[in-house]
């Protein structure tokens, strides 16, 4: 019998670059049995620090240094307001009914509850030609991102906004799409990085963008908070049509759009032939822990050989997923009822007001501030500074956790992201502390 080796829980807070097999703190393998199975070489390419565990690690060390400090976390974008009572009650009632013969349900449709799919269409895609059968209900946008990657396979070329959500790049690395990491630039060789900055109104210069098979695009954007205009998205769709590309459009923050910016890619003519849309209840309804989202795959979207993408995606779903929780889907239906939708949008307004407080605070200190109006995130520029240095400076001086922009790609260097997903008293206290930054 072989001995089992133990792994310290602190190991999982370490950046990936520190995960060494031999002699790493918290894990000892010398003298123990190893299989003859080689490690997935794509996972070995994840050499850069993974953002959020690194932030947690630094927060833990800070609290050890200042045990009496009241740390305010405005970093990881996790919702904080309780679920609306009608939504929570619907899930509670569904769960109780499972204890009865009349109310018990087992497996549901892998594609999702038909009533929920119908309500998603009615609420978010009315008059946009989206059909119920094109909706695939899931356990969240990030999980759907991985399923879309399985759909696309390892041989496609990809482009991402820079900066962008780390999951697009990391999932591409794991799939084998990325090529090797170029340490001097912080970019992977086979990924096209589309610079999005204030200088180009946070939209890439498509005339200088090389063709790729797939374009990952998030609007409103995480981390910058920028919502692409109708004209910008029209350019994107036309670019995809010209190049025969597929857009994977992340609309997880669409509920935060306050102006005339499109909330769905399908508001743009021609998009049904080139775009998949992924969305979520997480940041809209506070379902970060409940887990519920959806993906739209139009019937008009075809591969180069004319085969419908929706048929392959359905196969992926039926093979890798048994369907979203019936309880969570009951909650989703309650969210989209007239009463429920009114209440979840009031939560969205609450977080937007938090973001406005933070925008006004940084602006009053003379910083260039972006986002915060169409998104719960505030994107603050610190020229000629390294974002991890800014993160450490703010944490040391105010005991506030932020997110360094470099964690979202090379284009995020010199920025930090601040989340409006906090309780109002925490936001007001953070605002008060931040005013001392330049003292």
Instruction: Kindly state whether residues 120 and 241 are assigned to the same domain.
Output: yes
The tens digit of pLDDT for each residue in 330-342 reads: 999 999 999 999 9
Residue 165 to residues 111, 126, 162, 321: CA-CA distances in angstroms? 26, 28, 9, 24
* Angle at CA of residue 259, ends 256 and 262, nearest 5°: 75
Instruction: Kindly state whether residues 64 and 177 are assigned to the same domain.
Output: no
Instruction: Kindly state whether residues 120 and 178 are assigned to the same domain.
Output: yes
CB burial of residue 384 (10 Å; 0-12, 13-18, 19+): exposed
In a domain, 158, yes or no: yes
In a domain, 12, yes or no: no
Token match 């102006």: residue?
A: 259
* pLDDT above 80: residue 343: yes
Instruction: Kindly state whether residues 200 and 302 are assigned to the same domain.
Output: yes
Pick from 313, 337, 361: which residue ends a domain? 337
Instruction: Kindly state whether residues 262 and 128 are assigned to the same domain.
Output: yes
d(CA 151, CA 208): 28
State the CATH number of the domain containing residue 366. 3.90.1150.10
Structural domains of the chain, count: 2
Mean pLDDT across 74-101: 97
First to last CA, the chain: 63
What pLDDT, on a 0 to 100 scale, did the predictor assign at position 47?
A: 66
* pLDDT above 50: residue 316: yes
What pLDDT, on a 0 to 100 scale, did the predictor assign at position 263?
A: 98
Instruction: Kindly state whether residues 75 and 172 are assigned to the same domain.
Output: no
Mean pLDDT across 127-143: 97
What pLDDT, on a 0 to 100 scale, did the predictor assign at position 127?
A: 95
Predicted confidence band at 5 (pLDDT cuts at 50, 70, 90)? very low
* pLDDT above 50: residue 16: no
Minimal CA–CA distance to 215: which of 181, 195, 234, 192? Answer: 192
Phi first, then psi: what are they for 308, rounded to 5°? -70, 130
Instruction: Kindly state whether residues 259 and 385 are assigned to the same domain.
Output: no
Structure-block tokens of residue 208 = 């200088």
- Residue range(s) defining the domain that contains residue 364: 51-81+340-438
Phi first, then psi: what are they for 174, rounded to 5°? -60, -35
In a domain, 73, yes or no: yes
Residue 144 to residues 293, 350, 354: CA-CA distances in angstroms? 8, 27, 29
Predicted confidence band at 2 (pLDDT cuts at 50, 70, 90)? very low
Pick from 291, 309, 337: which residue ends a domain? 337
Q: What is the DSSP letter of 280?
A: E
* pLDDT above 90: residue 89: yes
* pLDDT above 50: residue 13: no
Whether 366 contacts 119, CB under 8 Å:
no
The tens digit of pLDDT for each residue in 175-226 reads: 999 999 998 899 999 999 999 999 999 999 999 999 999 999 999 999 999 9
Instruction: Kindly state whether residues 344 and 389 are assigned to the same domain.
Output: yes
Instruction: Kindly state whether residues 227 and 139 are assigned to the same domain.
Output: yes
The tens digit of pLDDT for each residue in 19-61 reads: 444 444 455 566 789 999 999 999 999 865 668 888 989 999 9
Mean pLDDT is lowest, of 16-20, 124-128, 139-143, 216-220, for 16-20
What pLDDT, on a 0 to 100 scale, did the predictor assign at position 48?
A: 57
In a domain, 254, yes or no: yes
Instruction: Kindly state whether residues 66 and 120 are assigned to the same domain.
Output: no
- Model's pTM, two decimal places? 0.93
What pLDDT, on a 0 to 100 scale, did the predictor assign at position 51?
A: 81
In a domain, 324, yes or no: yes
Whether 403 contacts 75, CB under 8 Å:
yes
State the CATH number of the domain containing residue 228. 3.40.640.10
Instruction: Kindly state whether residues 322 and 233 are assigned to the same domain.
Output: yes
In percent, the amount of the chain with pLDDT more than 90 equals 89
In a domain, 23, yes or no: no
Instruction: Kindly state whether residues 256 and 144 are assigned to the same domain.
Output: yes
Mean pLDDT across 346-372: 98
Average pLDDT of the residues of the chain: 93
Mean pLDDT is lowest, of 50-54, 253-257, 338-342, 364-368, for 50-54
What pLDDT, on a 0 to 100 scale, did the predictor assign at position 404?
A: 96
Whether 399 contacts 433, CB under 8 Å:
yes
d(CA 3, CA 115): 52
Mean pLDDT across 404-415: 96
Pick from 337, 371, 386: which residue ends a domain? 337
d(CA 428, CA 75): 16
Phi first, then psi: what are they for 381, rounded to 5°? -95, 130
In a domain, 22, yes or no: no
What pLDDT, on a 0 to 100 scale, did the predictor assign at position 49?
A: 60
Instruction: Between 83 and 11, name the one with better pLDDT.
Output: 83
* pLDDT above 50: residue 287: yes
In a domain, 90, yes or no: yes
């Amino acid at each position: 019998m072989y001995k089992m080796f133990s792994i310290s829980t602190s190991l999982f807070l370490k950046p990936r670059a520190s995960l060494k097999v031999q002699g790493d703190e918290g894990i000892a393998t010398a003298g123990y049995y190893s299989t003859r199975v080689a490690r997935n070489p794509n996972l070995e390419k994840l050499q850069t620090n993974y953002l959020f565990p690194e932030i947690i690690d630094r927060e833990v060390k800070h609290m050890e240094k200042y045990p009496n400090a009241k740390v305010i976390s405005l970093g990881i974008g996790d919702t904080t307001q309780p679920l609306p009572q009608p939504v929570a009650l619907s899930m509670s009632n569904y769960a109780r009914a499972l204890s009865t013969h009349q109310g018990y349900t087992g497996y549901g449709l892998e594609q999702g509850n038909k009533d929920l799919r119908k309500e998603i269409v009615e609420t978010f895609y009315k008059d946009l030609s989206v059909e119920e059968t094109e909706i695939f209900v899931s356990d969240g946008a990030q999980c759907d991102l991985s399923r879309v990657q399985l759909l696309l396979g390892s041989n496609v070329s990809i482009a991402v906004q820079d900066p962008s959500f780390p999951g697009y790049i990391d999932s591409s690395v794991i799939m084998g799409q990325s090529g090797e990491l170029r340490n001097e630039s912080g970019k992977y060789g086979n990924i096209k990085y589309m610079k999005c900055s204030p200088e180009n109104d946070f939209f890439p210069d498509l005339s200088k963008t090389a063709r790729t098979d797939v374009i990952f695009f998030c609007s409103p954007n995480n981390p910058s908070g920028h919502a692409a205009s109708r004209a910008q998205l029209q350019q994107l769709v036309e670019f995809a049509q010209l190049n025969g590309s597929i857009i994977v459009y992340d609309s997880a923050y669409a509920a935060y759009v306050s102006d005339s910016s499109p909330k769905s890619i399908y508001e743009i003519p021609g998009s049904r032939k080139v775009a998949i849309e992924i969305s979520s209840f997480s940041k809209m309804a506070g379902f970060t822990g409940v887990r519920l989202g959806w993906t739209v795959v139009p019937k008009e979207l075809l591969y180069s050989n004319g085969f419908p993408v929706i048929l392959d995606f359905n196969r992926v779903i039926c093979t890798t997923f048994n369907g979203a929780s019936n309880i969570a889907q009951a909650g989703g239906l309650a969210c989209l009822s007239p009463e429920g939708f009114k209440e979840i949008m009031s939560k969205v307004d609450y977080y937007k007001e938090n973001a406005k407080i933070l925008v006004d605070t940084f602006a009053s200190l003379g910083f260039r501030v972006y986002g915060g109006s169409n998104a719960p995130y505030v994107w603050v520029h610190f020229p000629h500074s390294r974002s991890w240095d800014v993160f450490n400076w703010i944490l040391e001086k105010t005991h506030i956790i932020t997110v360094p922009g470099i964690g979202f790609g090379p284009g995020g260097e010199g920025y930090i992201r601040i989340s409006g997903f906090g309780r109002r008293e925490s936001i007001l206290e953070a605002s008060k502390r931040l005013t001392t930054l330049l003292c």
